[in-house]
Amino acid sequence: MNITDDGILLIDKPAGWTSFDVVAKLRGARKSALKAQGITPTKRQLRVGHAGTLDPFATGLLIILLGDATKRSDEFLKQDKTYEATITLGANSSTGDPEGELTPVSDTVPSEAAVQDALAQFVGTVTQTPPAYSAIKVNGQRAYKLARKGHDVDIPTRQVTIHSLELLDYAYPRLSIRTHVSSGTYIRSLAQDIGAKLGTGAYCSQLRRTAIGASSIADAQEVDAVTKLD
């Protein structure tokens, strides 16, 4: 697909980029490509959006919508998602990820059987509290903006569905999982809840989204490949 076409791009977001960074880069590339064709871009042509935010530390599948395809955002936001994550036991993070302030909780080393048992308890419909450092709006403001200012952020709990939760590897303090979840599920919150269940504390130290509905990371491109950057 050409960057000047309206439609859907599957992007493999690198770590350290916000989802908006990707959108801004592709919007700039789209604008430059249109101008190179002698076309003065309209506001409609410069519409670029994404269907589902990924945290800056996370990598993986980001659905980018170009032009008129931005109208399809809700269609993708409601789809199930699949993630692979590394959870680090023994400490909690103020943000639920490696970018926050870490607080040691326990040096207890759970057995693999205990880990498997804990994971099994989260399969199905569960109640989850989204992280304070999230894009959820609270009283009209993004929760993470309030949290960064030191405000207490009260985010209501929600019901989410963990369709599957598989242990891929365990070598204390890290365990690797693959999970298929409903829309609205926060893997950072899941990591914290697993740590609480084990009594060790935990945070999500690595996160990669591999699927959104039928869209797979196997079909995604890197940003540089799409924008033809050197």
Asked if residue 152 is part of any domain, the answer here is yes
Q: Is residue 1 part of a domain?
A: no
In a domain, residue 144? The reply is: yes
Q: Are residues 103 and 154 in the same domain?
A: yes
Number of domains within the chain = 2
Residue 51: inside a domain: yes
Q: How far apart are CA 35 and CA 38, in angstroms?
A: 5
Please provide the average confidence, as pLDDT, over all residues in the chain.
91
Q: Could you read off the pLDDT of 113-161 as tens digits, one per residue?
A: 999 999 999 999 999 988 766 666 666 666 566 556 565 666 778 899 9
CATH code of the domain in which 174 resides: 3.30.2350.10
Q: Indicate if 141 and 156 belong to the same structural domain.
A: yes
Token pair for residue 56?
């800056």
Domain extent at residue 203: 81-212
C-alpha distances in angstroms, 4 versus 31, 38, 74? 8, 12, 23
For the question of residue 6 being annotated catalytic, the response is no
One domain, residues 14 and 125: no
What are the Cα distances from residue 121, in Å, to 6, 37, 68, 125, 158?
A: 43, 56, 42, 10, 17
Res 22 pLDDT > 50: yes
pLDDT value at residue 4 = 85
pLDDT band at 221 (very low <50, low <70, confident <90, very high): very high
- 69 band by pLDDT with thresholds 50, 70 and 90: very high
Residue 118 lies in a domain: yes
Torsion of CA 186, 101, 141, 138, to 10 degrees: 50
| Contact by Cβ (8 Å): 156, 54 | no
pLDDT of residue 141: 63
CA dihedral 53, 54, 56, 61 (to 10 degrees): -130
Q: What share of the chain is helix, strand, coil (3-state, %, to 5)?
A: 30, 35, 40
Same domain assignment for residues 93 and 207: yes
The pLDDT, as a whole number, for residue 150 is 63
User: Is 109 within the bounds of a domain?
Assistant: yes
Residues 97, 59 share a domain: no
Could you report the per-residue pLDDT of 171-205, keeping only the tens digit for each? 999 999 999 999 999 999 999 999 999 999 999 99
Give pLDDT, residue 229: 43
Q: Are residues 86 and 56 in the same domain?
A: no
Q: 2 in a domain, yes or no?
A: no
- Neighbouring residues of 142: CB distance < 8 A, sequence distance ≥ 6: 135, 136
- Write down the pLDDT at residue 135: 63
Instruction: Tell me, yes or no, whether 172 and 139 share the same domain.
Output: yes
Catalytic: which of 12, 55, 97, 193? 55
Specify whether 38 is located in the same domain as 114.
no
| Confidence grade of residue 207 (pLDDT, cut at 50, 70, 90) | very high
How far apart are the C-alpha atoms of 186 and 129, rounded to whole Å? 8
Alpha-helical (H) ranges within the chain are 19-36, 73-77, 112-120, 143-148, 187-198, 223-227
Do 23 and 104 reside in the same domain of the chain? Answer: no
The first and second tokens of residue 92, run together, are 């909690």
Question: Do 58 and 114 lie in a common domain?
Answer: no
pLDDT in the model for residue 139 = 61
Q: pTM of the entire structure? A: 0.90
Determine the pLDDT at residue 197.
97
pLDDT band (50, 70, 90) for residue 2:
confident
> Within this chain, do residues 156 and 197 fall inside the same structural domain, yes or no?
yes
Q: Are residue 190 and residue 114 in the same domain, yes or no?
A: yes
- What's residue 230's pLDDT? 38
